[in-house]
A and B are shown apart, each in its own frame.
Chain A
Amino acid sequence: MKLQLILLFALFTTGLSASAQKQYKLAKNNGKLNLNISGVTVEGYDGNEIIFSLPKNEDEEVDERAKGLKAFNSSGFKDNSGLGFDVTVRGDDINVNPVSVANQPKLSIKLPRNVRVSFANNSNMYQDTVTLKNLKTEIDVAVTGNDIVLTNNVGPMNIKTLHGSVDASFPADLKGPISIISVNGHVDIALPASVKANLEVISNYGKIYAADDLKIAINPASNPKTNATGQPVKTLTIGKGVQALTIKSLAANSENQDENAPVFGYEGGNYAESLNGKINGGGVDFILKSNHNNIYIREKK
């Protein structure tokens, strides 16, 4: 009897939470989802429908006069989803645009595995966190100020944010290339110890931190470079910040340091830090860059 009561309660709670959401479903399991909105949470799943959902706001005022009508905006977008967003399918592209730019709720989307994602937001005022998780296809994010959270995405991916930061956690089974760049925000990535990767990390005015446990093998320095006429190019190498970490791992990996000195610093740079290396012999290409902030490369526990 007790068990039946618990079961009944669980079903009631599930039903209640489902009814507390507004949903719009689109039968599409391939193509590219282009999101031109302020923020989003996208999660990959094994299904054939793109499910858009919003938490139901109990305090939301219902305009009785607008019943049976649809909201339009000056760009011609109309609320055809019932969620305040215009969802239009054009060939392989599924375009999502807000009807009201100023009052955008944060959309949650469940995405079939084969649908690619592209997120763009050039607004300086309306920015919310972009969370992408469990996706197995190509990801493309280009934003001005959004913070970006990436969890368990296979790749490949191109991530760009001018003022936001990027926090990413990757699975071991990756597809490259993976490029993450920010001007003012930090870049923080967590990699499994078993991942095979080539790292190209640059921070102009920040520092680079890396976990010793990842055993990053720093690439040997290239020999003095020459130009097309054979004249040698002077190379100036400066390192700071992450030196302690990487030189330590280099000492363990490199037997002949005279010939294979680490590439550290940036030619002719005053403050820039760079790290070029391999994890587990190399594999997927990673490009990590932050102009004014730090870059963290940690082991995923």
Chain B
Amino acid sequence: MNDPIKDFVEQHREDFDHLEAPQFNLAGFKASLAQEPMVKKHRILNIKPASWMAAAAVLLVCTIGLWFFNSTQQTKKTEQHLALNKQNKHPKIAEKPLVKAVTQNAKQTQFAAHETTSHVKKHQSKEEVPFIPSPDQMLYTKLNDSASSSTRLAAVLAIKKSELISYDMLDRLAATIQHDGNSNVRLAALSVLEKYRQDAHVTNLLVNALNHQNDPMLQLSLVNLLGKMQNVKIDERLYALVNDPSTLEAVKDEVYQILLKENKF
């Protein structure tokens, strides 16, 4: 096959070959290699100390700001996130929030002490402060035990027996009502929320639970409970339940009863 470029190269080969490669300078190459890290080092050292100081100042301000914000939030939580279990007769109820607050402070102290020991560990003998989980944390752990429904049920019953409950715990129980794999556990969690149903937040949790509930046992109990409560808007959900062919007949009967009582059907 005729290739004009190949022919041209063949004809002018001598013109291409007149240049020779320069002699390799090994000593110069080694010297350039040796110089490279020095250049990098120079660049690092080139940063002015003033920049470091500015960065440190910004970091310090951020840390102080974050610490201050956290401590304010913590105080708010302690004050707000406590719901009393009614009963004005017993003076011990008034004392309980204090006990709760002290427990939380103790928990923080324990955590701080734990951190300190981990820093000084190398220099001290075995003087470690064991981390003791609070009763709430233990209940949370049991409440999330996916292996045993009885453990979860026992945790819910323990929460039910306690006279104080935090909004955080109520939220977790609302999640249990929604997502637990066992109907008995869900119903027990509902019975805890039922105790505090006069609270606006709990009422919202109950309405939300009905709106997303797919377990007929829970639907029945929630309809029964919310149907008796005043000023709760669940009409849309009630209509949806009676119009859904998959709804259990017993649930429909309960819904019909509520709608008929209020002349909405």
Cβ B188 vs Cβ A287 within 8 A: yes
Cβ B199 vs Cβ A142 within 8 A: no
Mind listing 7 A-B residue pairs with CB under 8 Å?
A: A158-B150, A226-B198, A227-B198, A228-B84, A233-B86, A289-B187, A292-B250
Cβ B183 vs Cβ A142 within 8 A: yes
User: CB-CB < 8 A to A95: which residues of B?
Assistant: none
Cβ A179 vs Cβ B88 within 8 A: no
Q: CB of B101 within 8 A of chain A?
A: no
8 A Cβ contacts from A91-146 to B: 138, 140, 142
* Contact with B153, one of A179, A224, A227 (Cβ below 8 angstroms): A179
Q: CB of A285 within 8 A of chain B?
A: yes
B 84-100 binary contact with A (CB < 8 Å = 1; else 0) = 10111100000000000
Chain B count of residues within 8 A CB distance of the other chain: 29
* Contact with B217, one of A162, A226, A230 (Cβ below 8 angstroms): A162
Cβ B87 vs Cβ A157 within 8 A: no
User: CB-CB < 8 A to B89: which residues of A?
Assistant: 223
Most chain A CB neighbours (cut-off 10 Å) among B86, B89, B154, B229: B86
A 147-160 binary contact with B (CB < 8 Å = 1; else 0) = 00000000111111
Cβ B87 vs Cβ A183 within 8 A: no
* Contact with B86, one of A227, A285, A289, A291 (Cβ below 8 angstroms): A227
User: CB-CB < 8 A to A204: which residues of B?
Assistant: 224
8 A Cβ contacts from A199-243 to B: 200, 204, 222-228, 230-231, 233
User: CB-CB < 8 A to B199: which residues of A?
Assistant: 227-228
* Contact with A183, one of B153, B228, B248 (Cβ below 8 angstroms): B248
A-B contact number at CB 8 A: 87
Cβ B220 vs Cβ A291 within 8 A: yes
Cβ A228 vs Cβ B83 within 8 A: yes
Cβ B86 vs Cβ A177 within 8 A: no
Whole-angstrom distance from the CB of B93 to the nearest CB of chain A? 10
Whole-angstrom distance from the CB of A268 to the nearest CB of chain B? 4
Cβ B87 vs Cβ A225 within 8 A: yes
Cβ B88 vs Cβ A158 within 8 A: no
Q: Given A183-B248, A184-B250, A292-B250 in contact, is the A140-B182 Cβ separation under 8 Å?
A: yes
Whole-angstrom distance from the CB of A198 to the nearest CB of chain B? 9
Cβ A183 vs Cβ B149 within 8 A: no
Q: CB of A47 within 8 A of chain B?
A: no
Whole-angstrom distance from the CB of B22 to the nearest CB of chain A? 71
* Contact with B216, one of A157, A183, A285 (Cβ below 8 angstroms): A183
Q: CB of B193 within 8 A of chain A?
A: no
* Contact with A233, one of B83, B182, B198, B228 (Cβ below 8 angstroms): B198
Cβ B217 vs Cβ A177 within 8 A: no
A230 to B199, CA, bound (A): 11
Nearest A residue to B152 via CB reads A158
Cβ B87 vs Cβ A226 within 8 A: yes
Q: CB of B184 within 8 A of chain A?
A: yes
Q: CB of A269 within 8 A of chain B?
A: yes
Q: Given A160-B182, A162-B248, A183-B220, 17 other A-B contacts at CB below 8 A?
A: A138-B150, A158-B182, A159-B184, A176-B154, A177-B150, A177-B153, A177-B157, A179-B188, A181-B183, A183-B217, A183-B248, A222-B87, A226-B88, A227-B199, A228-B83, A230-B88, A267-B228
A228 to B228, CA, bound (A): 20
A160 to B153, CA, bound (A): 14
A222 to B196, CA, bound (A): 14
